A and B are shown apart, each in its own frame.
Chain A
Amino acid sequence: MTDLVVSGLSAVLLALGCLFMVSGAVGLLRFPDFYTRMHAAGVTDTLATFLIICALMLQAGWSLALFKLGLILLFIFFTSPAASHALAKAAQHSTLRLEPGSGPRAVPAEAVGGQETQPAEPALEADAANGDRA
């Protein structure tokens, strides 16, 4: 009886995890630019991984595999923000530099213009602003 409950629960968690994984992937394809795509990838990093590993933990039962899965979860939760931050920081050093305070106006232009290259002037402004802070 408990076996049935545990494997049923594990199946539900796996299905939910897959749903979130697919949603993250779809978001990665649908969202317009680098930073918004990073948010979509964040879904696969956190809740999707958590659900799938929880389901696997239920499958594993009381064994060494349970602790190993727990460690995997812990390390993913500790390292994925570092990886996301490294990506964002790398983008800051390239042409994708964020202009703090830039609102939604940046998006329609990009969504309509497609591969339009960044005009030189805003980049220079951002440089000056960052120079002040440094």
Chain B
Amino acid sequence: MRYSLALFVILAFIWLANSGHYTGLLLSFGLVSVFTVVAISQRMGLIDHESQPIHLAGGLPRYYWWLFTKIVRSNIDVVRHVWRGPSTISPVSAWVPARLHTDMGKVLYANSITLTPGTVAVDIDGEEILVHALTAEGLEDLRRGEMERQVRDLEE
């Protein structure tokens, strides 16, 4: 029930932010379409803790802030390598451990790896993620597992 409610709130927000017409008729159309989408999603069995991870909401701002600083740092790093030329990079690929309890955590971890320039998650297999990194240091940084720890903190 609360997952349906969360979906309802999110859809209503997206509708309101995109419409810009706040007359009674159009608002009621919006309400009808939001209800229809929620009803269809419910019938398709799409609404659960994975599609609406509201239990993570408390820890997300802190994680996103950490991820954002990480993204800024690695962006600057990659740009530096761009201007110094291809001779300064050392591309590597390796399986990096992802010791996380939930599928959600693994997806979040792999997505964060890809979102950070300089590292891309290519494949996932059980508790390991195949990562391609622009530099050996980038891979080493990932191996040290700070990002993994942040995701694990978020899960719990």
CB distance from A130 to the nearest CB of B (A): 9
Interface bin, chain A: 35 or more
Contact, CB under 8 Å: A33 / B91: yes
B111 touches A42 (CB 8 A): no
**Chain B residues with CB under 8 A of A89:** 122-123
Partner of A85, one of B83, B86, B94, B121: B121
Q: Specify which of B90, B114, B117, B125 lies most central, judged by the most chain A CB atoms within 10 Å of its CB.
A: B117
Cα(A24)–Cα(B116), bound, Å: 14
State the majority secondary structure of interface residues on A. helix
Residues of A within 8 A of B122 (CB): 85, 88-89, 91-92, 98
A32 closest partner in B (C-beta): B86
- Return chain B residues, CB-CB under 8 Å to A36: 86, 89, 91, 134
Interface residues of chain B: helix, strand, loop or mixed (majority): mixed
- Contact status A92-B123, CB under 8 Å: yes
- The stretch from B13-21, B47-55, B146-154 touching chain A is B13-21
Which are the 6 A-B pairs with shortest beta-carbon distances? A42-B117, A27-B82, A81-B114, A67-B17, A47-B75, A104-B90
* A residues neighboring B (CB under 8 Å): 20, 23-24, 26-27, 30-33, 35-36, 38-40, 42-43, 45-47, 64, 67-68, 70-71, 77, 80-82, 84-85, 88-89, 91-92, 98-104, 106-107, 111, 133
Interface residues of B (CB under 8 A from A): 14, 17-18, 20, 71-72, 75, 78-79, 81-83, 85-86, 89-95, 110-111, 114-123, 125, 130, 132, 134, 136
